[in-house]
């Protein structure tokens, strides 16, 4: 029987692969998607999420979000919560190599009419000041020891050196500094790959966008106002990037470590080698957790410096200070991460290591970990779509417990990068987008073609699914007008 | 000016990519530039030159090892300009999906040609982990030559089923069984930028054989192209020069994929390498002779 026929429909948005599907599954696997989205997923996603369900300590379900597609070990869109006290494992394949790849959103008090005449200038300057591309270097000249300090302190390191405002920290997950990051657990090679990349976008699907909140796209006026979206056709800036070569090297280093100890030392049997892991409560697991947190901090710092550069650019173009332009952060959220969180399982509070790989944390109102400013309304969730289709600001909900308060992170690819490159031509795409009022700068034409709109799932459908499933609620949709593509 | 051949080496973490690189450097006399993310274990204690897009370490014998500082395309251009290697070998990380890089080479580097994609697969890993990872699968799918490595770590009887498994994912690649990546470099590479066609040598891979063809006549192009398209799957590599009415071309064939590009020489000289191809030799030579006889 084809694997898709093994999926049991639990509700309109929940599909379950029973634990009996394959040997070793400890819990069922669940995909959060409409029937259309679940059928569009590649079959490897079902197999991968089934494999995740075999990992030691996994609690309740192995989950996949509506934008899921296959990835290294876990699908991208995978969520798995491991019980820390029941031998729960940590797996780099469940976090992603781009540790703390994430989104940051800031508002301005400018409108489309204010920005339109200066759009090219803004985008060109952003392209200059926020380096993009595979090996791009940042303007920050750090020594290796500065960098080791930075990865332990995250965005706080940057704000202390005037790259940002104090309130930026309050609006970043964990105040932009994850406790327990230990630079003695990262390799020299990882430092070498990261020390000159703070303040850079990188390549692939990373981008920086100037967007507009059209009045008809504001879904919840009251919530939008609380997040700072108050003016018709208000300009916002959204960007997507992570920990660059640094996070990649940390992941590579520990995958190699885990491959060595997983079977002989811990007797962990896995089906797919890409799921290499170790118990969180083991020397190797703890070391990776501490090193991975350095990746989280590097990424928060990276986005903090980029935010600073964006403020500089707008300030220069409009001849007004960033404060005067009210360039305030809405939020910064990680979508490649693992964190120990308290969750209620059968009325009992348990400490779970929640892996989110291409999935966004989405705590509802009154959750203690939500920034004080938003505690009454819930955590902001930022989901980027393709550059042609727009992006969303959402809010976490109280009804998200079944996904450990996790939701989608993007629209998810419908085809491989190569296939997209064969189908579209970057230069032509830039031209077409410009004709539609979207000005794009990119370091690579081929890379731009990868990001063509039809190479992605329909963002509106992904968002509608998360709302229907009760795991996040849309607040506003943003349309791009300028894009710097990594 | 001939394009510089690029060979891509891919494969999961710990499969033996670095071992393969060391083996190539030991056995291949050409001027090779190796491009890797980090020097790793290849260029310990070497003299390092900092470039704009690359860091270059000398390995002796004209070979260098390069780590990227900037964009891949810019780095390759800088290497060609500074070192003028006969060939470039790119080692990808075990986590990389090779297809994007293949596309970059084909689309964004007109001064280079993709000589082949070599994937190293650990036989022991295939036995121990029943399901193939997403990235590993892409690395197998994208290969022209698959090295089924570490066969000394698995039972003899297990090898055949493993080849079948690989064949299902990639029906066209040549599969070569290796221990510690000991492979005849003639199988891995086509012709270097300035190299004469390689003579068949006696140290070929266990069950690999080779034979040559040479001739002074001119080939009709369509006949030769038909011939190249119909080469049997047992031929892993074919290389050499072919004289056409409008000039001689360099011919490079790997696992069903082939290319021609202009080259200065007068004679047609070809080498065929493959698994037990003695049986096909007659037919191949006959087809070539038919082409020139057609005239």
Interface of B with A in 65-104 (CB under 8 A): 68-72, 75, 93-95, 97, 99-100, 102-104
How many other CB atoms are found less than 10 A from the CB of residue A184? 10
Q: Are B17 and B8 in contact (CB under 8 A)?
A: no
Residue B202: what pLDDT? 47
Residue B178 confidence class, pLDDT cut points 50, 70, 90: very high
Q: Answer yes or no: is pLDDT of B293 > 70.
A: yes
Q: Chain B closest CA to A168's CA: distance in Å? A: 31
Interface of A with B in 120-179 (CB under 8 A): 133-136
Distance of alpha carbon A189 from alpha carbon A150, whole angstroms: 16
Distance of alpha carbon B190 from alpha carbon B186, whole angstroms: 7
Which contiguous run of DSSP H or E holds residue A208? Answer: strand A207-213
Residues of chain B with Cβ-Cβ distance to A263 below 8 Å are: 128
Q: Do A273 and B129 touch (CB under 8 A)?
A: yes
Axis crossing angle, helix B278-293 with helix B221-229, rounded to the nearest 10: 160
Residue B19 confidence class, pLDDT cut points 50, 70, 90: very high
Q: Chain A closest CA to B235's CA: distance in Å? A: 28
Distance of alpha carbon A118 from alpha carbon A228, whole angstroms: 23
Which residue from A47, A189, A273 is facing B12, i.e. has the nearest CB?
A273
- Considering A147-151, A198-202, B57-61, B124-128, the range whose residues carry the highest mean pLDDT is A147-151
Which residue from A47, A248, A416 is facing B131, i.e. has the nearest CB?
A47
> Where do the domains of chain B lie?
4-188, 208-293
Q: Which stretch of A114-123, B29-38, B87-96, B231-240 has the lowest confidence by average pLDDT?
A: B29-38
Residues of chain A with Cβ-Cβ distance to B72 below 8 Å are: 134
Residue B193: what pLDDT? 57
Question: Which residue in A has a C-alpha nearest to residue B101's C-alpha?
Answer: A418
Q: Do A272 and B131 touch (CB under 8 A)?
A: yes
Distance of alpha carbon A13 from alpha carbon A227, whole angstroms: 28
Structure tokens at A131: 């380096």
Selecting among A367, A409, A425, A431, the annotated active-site residue is A409
Strand pairing category for B112-122 and B145-149: parallel
Which contiguous run of DSSP H or E holds residue A51? Answer: helix A43-52
Residues of chain B with Cβ-Cβ distance to A48 below 8 Å are: 134
Collect all residues with Cβ–Cβ distance below 8 Å to B137 and sequence separation of at least 6: A44, B169
Residues of chain B with Cβ-Cβ distance to A422 below 8 Å are: 103
Which residue from B13, B69, B136 is facing A255, i.e. has the nearest CB?
B13
Q: Chain A closest CA to B111's CA: distance in Å? A: 17
Residues of chain A with Cβ-Cβ distance to B129 below 8 Å are: 270-273
Q: Which of A419, A410, A417 is nearest to A389 (CA)?
A: A410
Is the CB of residue A11 less than 8 Å away from at least one CB of chain B?
no
Strand pairing category for B87-91 and B32-36: parallel
Distance of alpha carbon B68 from alpha carbon B64, whole angstroms: 13
Which residue from B12, B71, B93 is facing A134, i.e. has the nearest CB?
B71
Cβ–Cβ pairs < 8 A, chains A and B? 88
Distance of alpha carbon B78 from alpha carbon B275, whole angstroms: 38
pTM of the model: 0.90
Q: Are A472 and A466 in contact (CB under 8 A)?
A: yes
CA-angle at B90, arms to B85 and B96, nearest 5°: 165
Distance of alpha carbon A157 from alpha carbon A474, whole angstroms: 33
Q: Are B275 and B174 in contact (CB under 8 A)?
A: yes
Collect all residues with Cβ–Cβ distance below 8 Å to B244 and sequence separation of at least 6: B218, B219, B220, B221, B224
Q: Chain A closest CA to B195's CA: distance in Å? A: 32
Collect all residues with Cβ–Cβ distance below 8 Å to B121 and sequence separation of at least 6: B11, B12, B15, B136, B139, B140, B146, B147, B148, B149, B166
Interface of A with B in 437-476 (CB under 8 A): 443-446, 450
Helix, strand, or coil (residue A285): helix
- pLDDT tens across the length of chain A (486 residues): 677 788 999 999 999 999 999 999 999 999 999 999 999 898 899 999 999 999 999 999 999 999 999 999 999 999 999 999 999 999 999 999 999 999 999 999 999 999 999 999 999 999 999 988 765 677 888 999 999 999 999 999 999 999 999 999 999 999 999 999 999 999 998 998 899 899 999 887 899 999 999 999 999 999 999 999 999 999 999 999 999 989 999 999 999 999 999 999 999 999 999 999 999 999 999 999 999 999 999 999 999 999 999 999 999 999 999 999 999 999 999 999 999 999 999 999 999 999 999 999 999 999 999 999 999 999 999 999 887 789 999 999 999 999 999 999 998 778 877 778 778 888 888 888 888 889 999 877 777 888 888 888 889 999 999 999 999 999 999 999 999 987
Structure tokens at A176: 């932009």
Residues of chain A with Cβ-Cβ distance to B97 below 8 Å are: 417
Q: Chain A closest CA to B136's CA: distance in Å? A: 8
Known catalytic residue: A409? Answer: yes
Q: How many residues does chain B have?
A: 295
Residues of chain B with Cβ-Cβ distance to A51 below 8 Å are: 131
Q: What percent of chain B has pLDDT over 90?
A: 51
Fold of B4-188: Rossmann fold (3.40.50)
Phi, psi of A152 (to 5 degrees): -85, -20
Q: Do A274 and B94 touch (CB under 8 A)?
A: no
Residues of chain A with Cβ-Cβ distance to B13 below 8 Å are: 252, 255-256, 259
Q: Is B286 exposed, middle or buried (0-12, 13-18, 19+ CB in 10 A)?
A: exposed
Helix, strand, or coil (residue A150): helix
Q: Answer yes or no: is pLDDT of B42 > 80.
A: no
Strand pairing category for A391-396 and A380-383: antiparallel
Torsion region of B232: left, alpha or beta (phi above 0 gives left; psi -120 to 50 gives alpha): beta
Collect all residues with Cβ–Cβ distance below 8 Å to A145 and sequence separation of at least 6: none
Q: Chain A closest CA to B128's CA: distance in Å? A: 9
Q: Are A225 and A204 in contact (CB under 8 A)?
A: no
Interface of B with A in 111-140 (CB under 8 A): 125, 128-137
Q: Do B38 and A189 touch (CB under 8 A)?
A: yes
Which residue from B100, B107, B134 is facing A274, i.e. has the nearest CB?
B134
Interface of A with B in 243-282 (CB under 8 A): 245, 248, 251-252, 255-256, 259, 263, 270-275
Q: Chain A closest CA to B187's CA: distance in Å? A: 27
CA-angle at A337, arms to A186 and A462, nearest 5°: 150
Distance of alpha carbon A410 from alpha carbon B84, whole angstroms: 43
Place of tokens 């959204």: A238
Q: Are A385 and A453 in contact (CB under 8 A)?
A: no
Could you give the strand order of the β-sheet that contains B235-244, starting from the edge strand earlier in sequence? B208-215, B268-275, B235-244, B247-254, B257-262
Is the CB of residue A51 less than 8 Å away from at least one CB of chain B?
yes
Residues of chain A with Cβ-Cβ distance to B70 below 8 Å are: 133-136
Q: Do B68 and A274 touch (CB under 8 A)?
A: no
Q: Which of B71, B21, B31, B22 is nearest to B51 (CA)?
A: B71
- Look at domain B208-293 and name its CATH class: alpha beta
Which of A94, A273, A415 should be substituted to probe chain B, the one whose Cβ sees the most B Cβ atoms within 10 Å?
A: A273
How many other CB atoms are found less than 10 A from the CB of residue A425? 17
């Amino acid at each position: 029987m084809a694997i898709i026929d093994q999926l049991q429909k639990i509700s309109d948005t929940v599909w379950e692969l029973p634990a009996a599907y394959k040997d070793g599954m400890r819990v069922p696997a669940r995909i959060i998607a409409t029937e259309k989205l679940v059928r569009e997923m590649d079959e490897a996603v079902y197999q991968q999420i089934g494999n995740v369900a075999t990992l030691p300590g996994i609690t309740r379900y192995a989950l996949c979000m509506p934008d899921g597609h296959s990835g290294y070990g876990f699908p991208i869109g995978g969520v798995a919560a491991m019980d820390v006290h029941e031998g729960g494992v940590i797996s780099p394949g469940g976090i992603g190599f781009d540790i703390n790849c994430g989104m940051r959103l800031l508002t301005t008090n400018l409108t489309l009419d204010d920005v339109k005449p200066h759009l090219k200038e803004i985008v060109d300057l952003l392209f200059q000041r926020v380096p993009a591309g595979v090996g791009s270097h940042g303007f920050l000249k750090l020594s290796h020891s500065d960098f080791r300090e930075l990865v332990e302190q995250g965005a706080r390191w940057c704000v202390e050196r005037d790259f940002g405002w104090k309130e930026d920290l309050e609006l970043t997950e964990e105040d932009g500094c994850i406790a327990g990051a230990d630079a003695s657990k990262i390799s020299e090679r990882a430092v070498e790959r990261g020390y000159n990349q703070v303040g850079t976008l990188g390549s692939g699907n990373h981008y920086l966008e100037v967007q507009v909140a059209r009045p008809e796209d504001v879904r919840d006026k009251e919530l939008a106002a609380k997040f700072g979206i108050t003016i018709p056709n208000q300009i916002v800036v959204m960007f997507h990037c992570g920990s660059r070569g640094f996070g990649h090297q940390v992941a590579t280093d520990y995958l190699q470590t885990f491959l060595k100890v997983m079977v002989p030392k811990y007797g962990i049997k896995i089906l797919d080698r890409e799921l290499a892991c170790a118990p969180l409560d083991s020397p190797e697991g703890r070391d990776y957790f501490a090193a991975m947190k350095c990746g989280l901090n590097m990424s928060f710092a990276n986005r903090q410096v980029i935010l600073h550069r964006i403020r500089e650019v707008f300030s220069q173009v409009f001849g007004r200070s960033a404060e005067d332009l009210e360039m305030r952060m809405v939020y910064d959220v990680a979508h490649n991460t693992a964190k120990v969180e308290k969750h209620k399982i059968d009325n009992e509070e348990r400490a779970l290591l929640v892996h989110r790989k291409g999935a966004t944390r989405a705590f509802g109102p009154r959750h203690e970990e939500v920034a004080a400013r938003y505690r009454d309304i819930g955590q902001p969730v930022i989901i980027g779509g393709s550059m042609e289709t727009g992006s969303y600001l959402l809010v976490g909900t109280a009804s998200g417990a079944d996904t450990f308060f996790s939701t989608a992170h993007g629209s998810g690819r419908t085809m491989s990068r190569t296939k997209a490159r064969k189908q579209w031509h970057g230069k032509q795409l830039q031209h077409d987008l410009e004709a539609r009022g979207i000005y794009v700068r990119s370091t690579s034409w081929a890379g731009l073609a990868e990001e063509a709109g039809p190479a992605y799932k329909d963002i509106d459908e992904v968002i509608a699914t998360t709302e229907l499933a009760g795991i996040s609620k849309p607040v506003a949709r943003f349309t791009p007008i300028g894009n710097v593509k990594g | 000016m001939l394009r510089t051949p690029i060979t891509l080496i891919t494969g999961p973490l710990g499969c033996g990519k670095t071992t393969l690189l060391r083996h190539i450097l030991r056995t291949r006399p050409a001027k090779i530039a190796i491009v890797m993310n980090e020097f790793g274990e290849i260029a310990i204690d070497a003299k390092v030159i900092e470039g704009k897009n690359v860091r270059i370490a000398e390995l002796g014998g004209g070979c260098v090892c390069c780590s990227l500082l900037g964009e891949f395309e810019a780095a390759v251009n800088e290497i060609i300009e500074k070192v003028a290697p006969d060939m470039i070998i790119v080692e990808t990380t075990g986590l990389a999906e090779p297809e994007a890089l293949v596309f970059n080479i084909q689309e964004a580097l007109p001064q280079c040609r993709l000589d082949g994609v070599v994937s190293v697969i650990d036989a022991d890993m295939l036995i121990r982990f029943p399901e193939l990872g997403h990235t590993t699968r892409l690395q197998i799918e994208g290969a022209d030559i698959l090295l089924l490595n570490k066969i000394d770590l698995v039972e003899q009887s297990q090898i055949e089923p493993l080849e079948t498994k690989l064949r299902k994912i990639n029906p066209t690649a040549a599969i070569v069984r290796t221990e510690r990546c000991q492979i005849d470099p003639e199988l891995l590479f086509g012709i270097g930028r300035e190299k004469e066609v390689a003579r068949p040598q006696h140290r070929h891979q266990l069950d690999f054989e080779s034979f040559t063809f040479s001739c002074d006549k001119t080939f009709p192009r369509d006949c030769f192209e038909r011939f190249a398209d119909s080469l049997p799957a047992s031929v892993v590599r074919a290389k050499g020069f072919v004289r056409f009415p409008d000039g001689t071309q360099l011919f490079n064939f790997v696992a069903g994929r082939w290319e021609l590009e202009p080259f200065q020489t007068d004679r047609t000289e070809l080498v065929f390498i493959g698994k037990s191809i003695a049986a096909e030799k007659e037919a191949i030579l006959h087809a070539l002779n038919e082409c020139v006889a057609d005239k």
